[in-house]
Amino acid sequence: METTIKFAAINPATEQELTGQFPQHNEQNVDLAAAAANEVAKAYRQTTPQQRHDLLHAIADSLEEARETIVARAKLESALPEARLNGELSRTTAQLRLFASVVMGGLWQEAVFDSANPQREPLPKPDIRRQNIALGPVAVFGASNFPLAFSTAGGDTASALAAGCPVVVKGHPAHPGTSDIVAKCIAKALKNQALPQAIFTLLQGTSHELGQAVVKHPMIKAVGFTGSIHGGRALFDLAQQRPEPIPFFGELGASNPVFILPGRMKNQHQTLAEEYLLSMNMGCGQFCTKPAVVFVEKGENSSQFLNAVRQGIENHQGQTMLTSGIKRNYLEQSEKRAQQKGLSLTQSTPDQGVPSKLFETTSEAWRNNPQWQEEIFGPQSVVVICETGEEMIALSQELAGSLTATIHADEADYPLAKRLLPELEEVAGRIVFNAWPTGVEVSYAMVHGGPYPASTMPASTSVGAEAIKRWLRPVAYQSVPDALLPTSLQQANPLNVRRSVDGK
């Protein structure tokens, strides 16, 4: 059922409508998509690892074939440069291929065996075998700042398809044309693999009601979301208030604190200033891992660092933000912050685009204003000047949950870094050493999550091989005949899955 109400995308660079009309889907469309996904869910869950492997590679191949068209449209809808979008598309296809390898590797199934012991006293011990199975249809929300890698065929979709879950994507309204092209690539791959189209559905629209309807639908069994704290928390609450509450894997907001220790500052202050400027302004400050607060110890070297950062801010060229709404929010929030006592401000004055903003404050003022930890999405950051290393340790104990935490240290700083490290483990999903947090490697060990508000499920990751586990649940099989067991648990092990038997 297709709606006749349409909307158009807006070019954020010109603020003009782009060609193309896209459907404003509604609750009826949600119901049809979820019902269709539910109808194929059991069959898709039981597809072989090889079938899912082939599907993920087919989607990646289809995206590569349409690379030029995808990048051209994404550039118009996001104002991001072609080089960035080409890199993001390569990351998207790499994620799909990574999860194809994950599926074939079999570790995600977590096959665990407890051997039977009929002679055990006082009661015989039964044969128990456990594996993970797909949850069922899941919903994925596209992100504004990554129109490809965290969107229609992004990491959430790739990991869910790998797990054996049909996917209903609620596309981000900022880039409907890009989402539409990518969805057609997925449809092509499904057709080529002789799999039902209902395994993947794209829903488009600009209303909050559409997203709410997706989360509340009784056939949706989990949700992946990347976006604001306000929007994500509202949807999280809906997911928990359902008659059947469901997992809501929300990536919401993070300050990504950075600690530059004195020895490193002494030896690298100019380089650190240059790297900081690059990281906080990357993608117009619209990366979820942007360093929004940097802690430094007061001294001559820190003064030189700050002078270099201020000069870099003043000379920074303006950039275009992803949407007019994001731009308006950035300007309003940063202006509100600039009016608060205890902060000094250095900003750029670009001819076009939004200004970059550097705030500076003392550790005492920072401690008295916990609201300064709240993320402002855009090219701004706060430097907190501490009197001592002990003060750094104290402030690290008051941080909110974050995706990352970073330590810059030379060997002479290791005693302080060693004390700082366990404090940062409390608040971050990824700890970075002598680098900057922007950029998330797609790999087996990566964690992209963290305590709230970084994410709503701190035990999970939305990037890397472990992301597949969000869409799975364990099932134990007690005394089930071998012929009836799932293939991964059969005695002959036809899939050659690695197993844990009696704890070994």
Catalytically active residues are 251, 288
What's the per-residue H, E or C state across 418-467? HHHHHHHHCCEEEEEECCCCCCCCCCCCCCCCCCCCCECCCCCCCCCHHH
- The values of phi and psi at residue 333, to 5°, are -70, -40
Burial annotation 169-187 (CB, 10 A radius, 16+ → b, else e): bbbbbbbbbbbbbbbebbb
Helix or strand holding residue 92 (H, E): helix 82-105
List Cβ neighbours of 297 (8 Å cut-off, separation of 6 or more).
260, 261, 262, 265, 385, 386, 387, 388, 389, 391, 392
User: Please, are residues 474 and 132 in contact by the beta-carbon 8 Å criterion?
Assistant: yes
d(CA 498, CA 122): 32
d(CA 242, CA 215): 9
User: Please, are residues 74 and 85 in contact by the beta-carbon 8 Å criterion?
Assistant: yes
- The values of phi and psi at residue 129, to 5°, are -130, 140
